Amino acid sequence: MTSLDRSTLRMGSLAPTGVLLSGLVGAAGIAATVILGADESGWNNFWKSYLFGYMVAVGISLGGLFFVMLQHITRSGWSVSVRRLAEAFASNLRWLWLGFVPIIILVWSGDGGVLYPWADPEIVKSDIVLMKKQGYLNTTFWSIRAICFLAAWALLAQFFVGQSMKQDVDGNVARSRRMQALAPIGILVYGVSQTFAAVDWVMTLEPTWFSTMFGVYWFAVSLTGFFSCLILLACGLQSMGRLKGAISREHYQDIGKLLFAFGVVFWAYIGYSQFMLIWYANIPIETGWFLPRQLGAWKWVSLLLIVGHFALPFVLLISRWTKRWRNLLAAIAFWMVLMMIVDVYWLVMPTLPPGVAHDAASLAQLTEDVNSGAVSVGWNLTIANFTAVIGMLGLLKAGTFAALWRCSLVPVSDPRLDESLAFENI
């Protein structure tokens, strides 16, 4: 156990430069997406790119909120010295709701069909299934739900981050008890809201398709992003001389275990379970979602996810020594962030024009049509895709650094800090 160097618990000059640079990258990225997003086919490319980037940012932040509440529920000792970094990610939920306002405005403007087919009255009229789903999938109810989710996350983040930061100053143990008391309720609210948010915002891009596992899949996606980013932030700060003696390889091993468990094994388990049930039943209304993801370039993206999001990190993270080797773990975490981004891209982007599957003579014919470009499955890798996700990640980093600007990098007055510093894996 190395002793905590209290002079290295401040961001110092890292915060203003980080916030400024990342904020500029973020603003430039979003601006570039707006400029590049519109093409001859309208604004579809922009909105899809924007939603893709937004879901990456919101997924990582939600993972932070979940992690913080989980530590309070279990009254964890080991995680106290990394909890502030998780709180910084979660604190982004206090402003990320702003990013969803344009999408709500889009849905209300009447052009919502560019993103969500159920928001276009013409499309709804032509589809009996969508008409029957109107009771749930209508602009008003959808917006109310979205506002409730965003508000709940912002309030939960405000409470847990706020209490923890206030405890830094007054050292009041009652704050820990208060957070422990609210965490179980908070995690229930989180579970329901993140499930329905994933369904409302991503699953209804294909409004006739449904999967009861989708919310759980989104949970795995978001935790993959969060644990990877947590490792990267901790490594980054330590390589800049911060957090000396606060985060040891014992902590890295434990976060590595969580990344292995949630981001690799659980992700694959849920993803496969979702696929297998649909594959086995083989009902057209369910298989329609996986069909474009097995056609054209998407087939290779799907295979990349199986290998790059499961097989490769499974082998890399299963051993003890890889999780305890900080730089190697950081490299794996960087790879996992990329995979999480590819995964969200794979969730948001692919489409199959209505009726195409029904009219296709055979799968072989459909595959040929997709490969020749006669049928589009939404594979359209544009610069706007990249600028959107880079912009959102820039804003996320700026927000995270801003949250750490004026506070200590570990909860210095937490009653379990000493336990965390002395933590050892047996």
Partner 1 sequence: MTSSPVQAGARPDAMVVDDMNPDTGTSQLWGLAAEFSTPAAIMEAAKKVHAAGYRWWDCHTPFPVHGLDFAMGIKYTILPIIVFFGGLTGTCLAVLLQVFTNSLELNIWAIVPVVGYQFEVSGKPLISLPAFIPVIFEVTVLFSALTTAGGMLLLNKLPCLYHPVLKSPKLKRATDDRFYLVIETRDPKFVRPQTEELLGSLDPDSIIELEA
**Amino acid making up residue 165:** M
Output the smallest distance, CB 276 to partner 1, in A: 6
Nearer to partner 1, 56 or 278 (CB): 278
Min dist CB 346 to partner 1, Å, is 18
- Does 177 bind partner 1 (CB under 8 A)? Our answer is no
Contact flag: residue 282 with partner 1 (CB under 8 A)? yes
The number of residues in the chain equals 426
CB of 143 within 8 A of CB of 80?
no
User: What's the rounded Cα separation, in Å, for the pair 91 and 83?
Assistant: 12
361 binds partner 1 (CB under 8 A): no
Site string for partner 1, 252-281 (x = CB under 8 A): --------------------x--xx--xxx
Between 201 and 252, name the residue whose CB sits nearer to partner 1: 252
Nearest approach, Cβ of residue 318 and partner 1 (Å): 8
Nearer to partner 1 (CB atom), residue 192 or residue 318: 318
Smallest CA-to-CA distance from 63 within 259, 200, 204 is with: 259
DSSP 312-340: HHHHHHSSHHHHH-HHHHHHHHHHHHHHH
Question: Is the CB of residue 343 less than 8 Å from the CB of residue 221?
Answer: yes
Query: Smallest distance, Å, CB 275 to partner 1?
Result: 7
Under rule CB under 8 A, which residues in 302-331 are in contact with partner 1?
A: 318-320
Nearer to partner 1, 278 or 337 (CB): 278
CB of 320 to partner 1, least distance (A): 7
Q: Which residue from 128, 121, 93 is spatially nearest to 107, judged by alpha carbons?
A: 121
Q: Which is nearer to partner 1, 321 or 327 (CB)?
A: 321
d(CA 356, CA 4): 62
In the bound state with partner 1, the residue whose beta carbon lies nearer, of 283 and 372, is 283
CB of 280 to partner 1, least distance (A): 7
Please tell me whether residue 136 binds partner 1 under the rule CB under 8 A: no
* Cα–Cα distance for residue pair 108/18, rounded to 1 Å: 36
The nearest distance, CB 269 to partner 1, in angstroms, is 8
318 or 381: CB nearest partner 1: 318
- How far is residue 374 CA from its own chain's centroid? 33
Number of residues that bind partner 1 (CB under 8 A): 12
Given the complex with partner 1, which of 3 and 282 has the nearer CB atom? 282
The reply to whether 335 sits near partner 1 by the rule CB under 8 A is: no
Q: Which uninterrupted H or E stretch holds 79?
A: none
The four Cα atoms 407, 412, 414, 417 give a dihedral, to 10 degrees, of 130
Q: Can you give the three-state secondary structure of 82-117, one letter per residue?
A: HHHHHHHHHHCHHHHHHHHHHHHHHHHHCCHHHCCH
What the block records as the tokens of 274 is 């979702």
Q: How far is the CB of 311 from partner 1 (least distance, A)?
A: 13
Q: Which residues bind partner 1 (CB under 8 A)?
A: 272, 275-276, 279-282, 318-320, 424, 426
